[in-house]
Structure 1
Amino acid sequence: MTRTVNLPDGPFTLSGTGREHLTPGVRFTSRVAYAAAHVVADPRAENVPGTPAAVDWDATLAFRRHLWSYGFGVAEAMDTAQRGMGMDYPAARELVRRSAAAARAEGGAICAGVATDQLPAGPASLDEIRKAYAEQLADVQEAGARPVLMCSRHLAAAARSADDYLDIYGRLLADADGPVVLHWLGPAFDPALTGYWGDADPVRAAETVVALIDTHPSRVDGIKLSLLDEDFEVALRRRLPAGVRLYTGDDFNYPALIRGDGEGHSDALLGVLAAIAPPAAAALRALDTGDLATYDRILAPTLPLARHLFGAPTFYYKTGIVFLAWLAGHQDHFTMVGGLQSGRSPVHLGRLLRLADAAGLLPDAELAAHRARAFMTTAGVAQ
């Protein structure tokens, strides 16, 4: 079987070097690392825009077991799982329930998204938003996962001041069974979240975040930050109370942020970790032993891939995540809930194939090439 694929920019032969880091292992000790996992659609169902999500539960849970086997926690039902982009709340609730049960069986760590997406699109009152958050918080806690209080499009539209955020989040933190993870997703990931935390200027919005955490430090495990601004993240990290983690969601700058500096480091809650799990696990184990040179060497080739994968429009990164999972053999089709497989072009995905090969992410080069040829054929690139 040939390893050569005709891509839109010309033929490409895969190197077949994707087995260097295929060694599962125990959870990391120096960093907490959650990989935000995608869902595998049922290819036999009507997974088109506007229809309820139909999930292949067996393949979806198998991918989570893959992540746990490499030592990662799973960040469940987050934006990587297409929350707000094809994944409706009934399916998300079932996903959390099933994944949390699998985590208990595997001894794996799990956190899960709490949002307001059971509300219809459009305006909602602050009281309706609070009640929707509370309902999902109860669902996640009952399932046994650590809650992640995700940003809410409804709240972004309804809040009139920072005080509205402080009131709703403060009441949720008071009602939680234990510490939760806060969530700050920037407009690159979801334009509807512009101005979250009460101000379009992140520096001023950070004052609200810090005030909330300072008021409830024992109720906050950490905050996931996805603003794609390395300097801003480091500055916010240094303002957090002792014991409150900064979970980087920066898929452009994660190697340096996780590595840290003399004043601290970021932990991780990242979509890219699911795509690069084997080499990322090897890098984090090197970090556990203080081997910074090996850590840097392993992660360096993953960064160009991540920056391409999460390139603008960033919110379509899920398409590339699923494309890579298909090429790597974690699922047997390239179909997504909501029909989101159309979210990236053949040109983008062809470049992604080249970068994935360079990063050693394709353990079976012949299989990856075969599947890439099939996709490119349907896209009009003759093989």
Structure 2
Amino acid sequence: MVAIPLPTPDGTLERWSPSGRRTPDSPTTPPTSRIAYAAAHVVVDPLVGHDPTHTVALDWDSTLAFRHHLWSCGLGVAEAMDTAQRGMGLDWKTTTELVRRTGAEARARGAAWVAGVGTDQLPPGPATEQDIVSAWREQLELVGDEGAVPVIMASRALAATATGPEDYHRAYGAVLSQAQGPVLLHWLGEQFDPALAGYWGHRDVAAAADELVALCTDHASVVAGVKVSVLDAEVERRFRAALPDGVACYTGDDFHYPELIAGDADGHSEALLGIFDPIAAVAGAALARLDLGDPAGFTALLEPTVALSREIFRAPTRHYKVGVVFLAYLCGHQRHFRMVGGLEAARSIVHLSEVLRLADRAGVLPDPELAVARMRPLLDAAGVSL
């Protein structure tokens, strides 16, 4: 394998070539011992003729083909979540089309999927509680009509309006009381979105968890589960144990997911993860080992991906989408490294080089030679040479 120059965090260059570790074969059917969804990214159309930082245009063929890739690895698709740049460039009109197109693909395939329900169609500026509830209901109807399990996402508008826990209980209660079927809730921590600091009416994450447990208890007949994305394994374990019967915990912890999915004597978390987008094949293979009663095999496959995930989700965590799309490009799932709003510029060539190294070690590069070939022009554009 031909070596390429990769920058290092200390400002030097190293000559690097892939180890040759290949992606394991993943099952084509969903796991039986766990529920697992990959939050999917979107592929932008790089040839749009308008300002790419303000105009949203997706490459629909590549975007939908990637959803089929996730399904082929045995994973469900979590559509229109923050991984798809909800709240970071993807507008409501495009989101609507994304949900409808994915719904058609999922129905044709008989595949599992969930979809995000937010309030991002609201205009900028202050919103009333009724505005927020109406926005959630509009999106809830769309997602339900398309056949997905709705994931009610945290609302920036509510975070800006609420003055205490009672406001969250009232707003969520108004939405949940009219839900036509089971829904998931999504607790997205401020690491992922600083505008959500103090969500559920508490700055303290443990107190916020208690508030969410109380909400789930009040609405246990409709809340099927909660995705927890706070990057704190102990908080998630305590939260998981406190949930009422019938309400599942879905880990969104991209730092500690192997141990949380594997579980312990007190239970386990299901999975709804952004990191499952770039590591889908490895994740599917690992979950298959768990189905076979082989937790050691599960850990052996999934644990090497943690260092990669921690690099992708390093602070500022909200820019993790860059690493996700970068790996989709290196792995051949899209022909370019471009993102909605030009977000690809949010991470450095040093960071991307480390993502490449760690992806190789984790065995998530299906074609290492292709990855090297696709890395070369990025290095050239950054002025990297030996």
Q: Same fold (TM over 0.5)?
A: yes
**Cα distance in 2 between the residues matched to 1:216 and 1:182:** 11
Deviation at 1:46, TM superposition (A): 5.1
**Cα distance in 2 between the residues matched to 1:352 and 1:47:** 31
1:107-126: CA deviation from partner (whole Å, max 9, x where unpaired): 21110001110112221111
- Residue of structure 1 equivalent to 2:135: 132
Q: Aligned in 2, Cα 1:86/1:46: closer, same or farther, shift over 3 Å?
A: farther
**Cα distance in 2 between the residues matched to 1:342 and 1:159:** 34
- Counterpart of 2:305 in structure 1: which amino acid? T
- Residue of structure 2 equivalent to 1:149: 152
**Cα distance in 1 between the residues matched to 2:299 and 2:212:** 31
Match of 1:105 among 108, 117, 123: 108
Match of 1:215 among 213, 218, 237: 218
- 1:1-383 matched pairs, under 5 angstroms: 2-9=1-8, 10-19=14-23, 21-45=24-48, 50-382=53-385
Q: CA RMSD in A?
A: 1.2
TM-score of the two chains, using structure 2 as the length reference: 0.96
Deviation at 1:49, TM superposition (A): 6.2
1:261-307: CA deviation from partner (whole Å, max 9, x where unpaired): 00100001000011111111111011111101101111121010001
Secondary structure (helix, strand or coil) at the match of 2:212 reads helix
Runs of 5+ unmatched residues, structure 1: none
Q: Aligned in 2, Cα 1:178/1:3: closer, same or farther, shift over 3 Å?
A: farther
Does the 8 A contact of 1:41 with 1:337 survive in 2? yes
Deviation at 1:48, TM superposition (A): 5.1
- Residue of structure 1 equivalent to 2:11: none
Runs of 5+ unmatched residues, structure 2: 9-13
- Counterpart of 1:128 in structure 2: which amino acid? D
- Counterpart of 1:11 in structure 2: which amino acid? R
**Cα distance in 2 between the residues matched to 1:340 and 1:45:** 16
Deviation at 1:47, TM superposition (A): 7.3
TM-score of the two chains, using structure 1 as the length reference: 0.97
**Cα distance in 1 between the residues matched to 2:126 and 2:110:** 41
Does the 8 A contact of 1:47 with 1:336 survive in 2? no
**Cα distance in 2 between the residues matched to 1:178 and 1:264:** 25
Deviation at 1:235, TM superposition (A): 0.2
Does the 8 A contact of 1:68 with 1:106 survive in 2? no
Q: Aligned in 2, Cα 1:26/1:241: closer, same or farther, shift over 3 Å?
A: same
1:192-231: CA deviation from partner (whole Å, max 9, x where unpaired): 0000011111122223211111111110010000000000
Deviation at 1:190, TM superposition (A): 0.3
**Cα distance in 1 between the residues matched to 2:4 and 2:323:** 18
Secondary structure (helix, strand or coil) at the match of 1:104 reads helix
The 10-residue stretch of structure 1 (98-107 or 26-35) with the greater mean CA deviation from structure 2 = 98-107
- Counterpart of 2:21 in structure 1: which amino acid? T
For this pair of structures, how many residues does the alignment match? Answer: 381
1:32-84: CA deviation from partner (whole Å, max 9, x where unpaired): 00100000000101575652310001000000000001111100000000001
The 10-residue stretch of structure 1 (223-232 or 122-131) with the greater mean CA deviation from structure 2 = 122-131
Does the 8 A contact of 1:28 with 1:284 survive in 2? yes
- Counterpart of 1:56 in structure 2: which amino acid? D
- Counterpart of 2:17 in structure 1: which amino acid? T
**Cα distance in 1 between the residues matched to 2:25 and 2:366:** 8
Structure 1 segments (4+ residues) deviating >4 Å: 46-50
